[in-house]
Amino acid sequence: MVVIGGGQAGLSIAHALQKRGIRPLVLEKHRVGYAWDQQRWDNFCLVTPNWQCRLPDFPYDGPDPDGFMVKSQIVSYLQRFASFVRPDLREGVTVQRLVHNGNGYRLFTSEGEILADHVVVATGGYHIPRRHVDAPRLPSEIIQIDARDYRHSDSLPPGPVLVVGSGQSGCQIAEDLFLAGRRVHLSVGSAPRSPRRYRGKDVVDWLDRMGYYSIPIADHPDPRSVRTKTNHYLTGRDGGREIDLRARALEGMHLHGRLRSVTAERISFNDDLATNLDQADSVYCRIRTSIDNWIAKEGLDAPKEQPYTPCWQPGPAADAGIDLASEPLAAVVWCTGYQSDFRWIDVPVFDGSGHPAHDRGMTQSSGLYFLGLPWLHTWGSARFCGVADDADYLASMITLRLQRRDASQERLECTALLGS
């Protein structure tokens, strides 16, 4: 039994299996906590409250359940969980290829070959950063980095910075640069935004009480697209607050629509900034309304708040873009999402888009499973709050299969004895 990946998903399934008497081998390409430590910026913090960190039998137990762990605390939490689980863990081992081998699988790794009857792939779903197709056209003197490689403002050369993408990473990195005194341009896409606190509670608290985080994807109104939708932008910084891009525009951040094209002389944007901001605000208001309706339905007493009113609107003139001659950029930070990369798995379990086809992690290939993917089963499947339930379910199914296999083998042996 092999688990590929030593993050929260891999450690969770190892723990669930060990509780059932099965001790898998866990292979981790780097080290426990590597992605949190090495692929996040210095001021990174969770956007969900600490109380939602509920790894199996290891919930958050610190002094600030309503706070938001910063990067070093997240790494420590995961490393302490690993010490709690005490798995058969091998760090620094890369799985280069996974293929069928009779009734099981053969893993080609940086440390040699491994045979396994059952394999759980727990490597997440965000592997290769995406960039705009015109990114190679930018002048070579402009530094280009992806969100996972950004650390802090001083890690970039002096001068204006363009952040492309307004999801959680894009908005938070743009804020990080702006609060450090940088001249910031932000290309705003279609990402939705969320309130932080509303009617006396953190919105995450309300949505949790409303059961949103436990809705199975099969019951979601848009199951086909929800797995690839951009996360709502807000932040846990400064104790947790909203990100209102309109307010940042009033303070001097330069907002643009979606990036259209790049030449050596100019970066051009679509004239959709107003539409994108309006759509983000529409989602923001719908979340508030859904909370209002639930409070009324439950007959709860909660303080009321004034309706949201936009504090800024883009001007009527078309966006002239960025003239690189008059305003040479120091850097571009690409926050345009990631794509999964499972090309190393040579087993036919993928759909036409290269995504694993599965039913709550179970594939059509007997003995091959996935865990920790976005919306594998619920919103929390790839997060600290939901991976425990998925790991427990998958461990129970694996245990059942092993029991059936053992029972079948025992019947075969009995038949052979009787026949002799």
84-118 pLDDT, tens digit per residue, is: 999 999 999 999 999 999 899 999 999 999 999 99
- Listed residue (6, 46, 50, 53) closest to 25, CA to CA: 6
- pLDDT tens, position by position, 5-63: 999 999 999 999 999 999 999 999 999 999 999 999 999 999 999 999 999 999 999 99
Annotate 28-58 with DSSP letters as a single string: ESS-TTHHHHHSS-TT-B-SS-GGG-EETTE
Q: Please tell me the predicted confidence (pLDDT) of residue 312.
A: 98
Are 78 and 32 a contacting pair, CB within 8 Å? yes
Residue entry with tokens 């461990």? 395
Chain-centroid distance, C-alpha 395: 23
Average pLDDT over residues 398-406: 87
> Shortest CA distance to 339 belongs to which of 132, 149, 130?
130
Please, what are the domains in the chain? 2-127+340-415 (3.50.50.60), 130-334 (3.50.50.60)
Nearest to 296, CA basis, from 307, 288, 284: 288
Mean pLDDT of 221-234: 84
Confidence label for 409 from pLDDT (cuts 50, 70 and 90): low
pLDDT at position 226 is 82
Give the pLDDT score at 220.
85
pLDDT the model gives residue 418: 52
Find the range with the poorest average confidence among 156-165, 187-196, 211-220, 307-316. Answer: 211-220
Work out the average pLDDT over 218-236: 86
Is residue 2 within 8 Å of residue 114, measured between CB atoms? Answer: yes
Strands 25-28, 88-91: pairing kind: parallel
Confidence bin at 410 (pLDDT 50/70/90)? low
- Under 8 Å CB-to-CB from 203, ≥6 apart: which residues? 194, 195, 196, 197, 287, 291
Q: Residue 163's CB: how many other CB atoms inside 10 A?
A: 29
**Calculated CA dihedral for residues 362, 365, 366, 370, nearest 10 degrees:** -30
Q: Give dist(CA 14, CA 1) in Å, integer.
A: 10
Mean of the per-residue pLDDT values of the chain: 95
Tell me the helices (H) and strands (E) count for the chain, helix number first. 9, 23
How far CA 157 is from CA of 182, 187, 332, in Å, comes to: 11, 20, 11
On the question of pLDDT at 270 being above 60, the answer is yes
pLDDT at 406 (0 to 100): 67
What is the number of other CB atoms lying within 10 angstroms of the CB of residue 380? Answer: 22
DSSP string, 114-163: EEES-EEE---S--EE---TTGGGS-TTSEEEEGGG---GGGS-SS-EEE
Please report the pLDDT score of residue 414 as a whole number.
Answer: 53
